[in-house]
Structure 1
Amino acid sequence: MLENNKYKISVITAVYNAELCIQNLIESLRVQKDKDFEWVVVDGASTDRTLEILKSISDLNIRIISEPDFGIYDALNKGIKLSSAEYYLVAGADDVFYENAIYDYSASIDDSVDIVTGIVHKNGHSVCVRKGGAWLFDQCAYITCHSLGTLVKKNLHFEYGFYSRKFPIAADQFFIMRCCENGAKIIQLDTIVGQFGTSGVSSEDTIGTCTEKFRVQLLLGKNKWIQFILLVLKIFKRLLALK
């Protein structure tokens, strides 16, 4: 059990060569109504001006690691272990928090809450929790988006493990679903907390995302034939979108 947390919430960001987009995230953190948070940035040894930009920040509670990593989830695991708060939020370098985000998340926390999920804007739409089973909507049956949209109690990782290297794209799905299907208490906010960026691997490699989510569903014991049919339908839909 973690004790003596310095901050209520840690925002954790994995970055690599993000100089073109990270300024918007920085500005969104600067204007938060609630300042009781730290920002832990894990840089994968960027070769552009990302580190220079981060090191120039003096008005945020920022902690920076810069070293090679094995991908986003390896970087997030480092950030989680370094963070000092009881709860954390993941934010991509191209994400933007709305000024109410930290305040709304913080206000929802009590001793019994494990996960809090907020509404997120993505591609002009509001992303909410999907109504239906996890066999169909995977982690989206429990949360809106892993990045920006999910506040996680850090102690869950000591019970269900850290993000797995077996899933370079869908490790968040594997972790969140394990937590939720084993009784983690989830609260849904009715407020919009931010704008989700779409330049990440999961947004660009849609076929890879489908196949990896399929593997996670099988590992979690979902009906393999139903999952196979869903996989074929999802891939066909994405192939049509590429035409």
Structure 2
Amino acid sequence: MNPKISIITISYNNCDGLEKTIKSVTSQSLNDFEYIVIDGGSNDGSKEIIEKYADKISYWVSEPDKGIYNAMNKGIKAANGEYLLFLNSGDELYNQHVISDVFNEIFDQDIISGNLFHIDETKSDILISPENVDYKHLIYNTIWHPCSFIRRDKFELIGLYDENLKIVSDWKWFLLAIAKYNCSYKKINHVIAKFYADGISSNEENKELIKFEREKSLNEEFPLLLDLYDEYEVYFFNYHLVKKKYNLLLQSRIIIFLKKLGFYKYFEKHKID
């Protein structure tokens, strides 16, 4: 009988992050799942880390690959679980009971998303997955893969991740799943993973590449949605510009003086979050 869940970790030259991830998976209170580790032929001791925990890993390989999505596709091909969770090196399951909590949920949808504990250099907070997802949400947002369980047979229907893309292939896959193949979605109220925002898609230098790859994907798959994407671009640009100027205004001496005179509640009420 195939396992309910396969957890897939991909890694390349990130031995410390890899061990952190492996520990969070292998320390689960419920271990009735498959664990797969795909390493890209690292030379920093990652292979030795994998061998250290080999008795708790269902399948692993350490060999050169062609990038992130090639490695993720290798994991999909090796997996036997009904649902797949991608937890890449450096990220962690939120606590020791995540898999147990998920097993206690009743679901048969194609994509199951929990919440994500997001950590960056300045703060940490819990990101709440939406109750419902449609193409309007995905046109400028995404479904976070570290907290999402994907039915494995949907990769047979939709295809594997597009290896021609460097950053947004998971976003493209979710967009196809929801907007083209009408896959079902369910949000569950559990924090699934800790995500450390130091990866390729979190880097400010890659924002232009993300925009380019999204527009390229939309043009190939949903050309009629390009105008909607451009409208969102303008909206978010204007929103952040106004927010920045307004918050600078709130720091001015005149506004600080007015707050002291009793106008504080007014400015708090009209604060732009």
For structure 1, which segment, 179-188 or 159-168, has the greater mean C-alpha deviation from structure 2 after superposition?
Answer: 179-188
Change in CA separation of 1:109 and 1:184 when aligned onto 2, cut-off 3 Å: farther
- 5 Å-filtered alignment, 1:73-152, equals 73-98=69-94, 99-108=96-105, 110=107, 112-123=108-119, 124-130=124-130, 134-138=135-139, 140=141, 143=143, 145-146=144-145, 148-152=146-150
- Structure-2 residue corresponding to 1:212: 213
| Structure 1: 5+ residue stretches without partners | none
Checking the alignment, whether the CA contact within 8 Å between 1:40 and 1:83 is kept in structure 2 is yes
- In 2, distance between residues paired with 1:185 and 1:133? 10
**Alpha-carbon deviations, 1:61-111, whole Å to 9, x = none?**
33111221111111111111111212110011010102222123333354x
Report the TM-score when normalising by structure 1.
0.84
| Rg comparison, structure with higher value | 2
Checking the alignment, whether the CA contact within 8 Å between 1:94 and 1:198 is kept in structure 2 is no
- Structure-2 residue corresponding to 1:18: 14
- In 1, distance between residues paired with 2:140 and 2:72? 18
| Structure 2: 5+ residue stretches without partners | 245-273
Q: Does residue 41 of the first structure (1) align with residue 37 of the second (2)?
A: yes
For structure 1, which segment, 53-62 or 128-137, has the greater mean C-alpha deviation from structure 2 after superposition?
Answer: 128-137
RMSD: 2.6
Q: Does residue 227 of the first structure (1) align with residue 225 of the second (2)?
A: no
For structure 1, which segment, 150-159 or 172-181, has the greater mean C-alpha deviation from structure 2 after superposition?
Answer: 172-181
Checking the alignment, whether the CA contact within 8 Å between 1:105 and 1:151 is kept in structure 2 is no
- Structure-1 residue corresponding to 2:268: none
- In 2, distance between residues paired with 1:136 and 1:8? 28
Amino acid at match of 2:36: V
- Structure-1 residue corresponding to 2:184: 185
- Structure-1 residue corresponding to 2:164: 166
Change in CA separation of 1:234 and 1:139 when aligned onto 2, cut-off 3 Å: closer
- Structure-1 residue corresponding to 2:262: none
Change in CA separation of 1:234 and 1:201 when aligned onto 2, cut-off 3 Å: farther
Specify the SS of the correspondent of 2:176.
Answer: helix
Provide the aligned length of Structure 1 versus Structure 2: 232
Report the TM-score when normalising by structure 2.
0.76
1:33, CA displacement in angstroms?
2.1
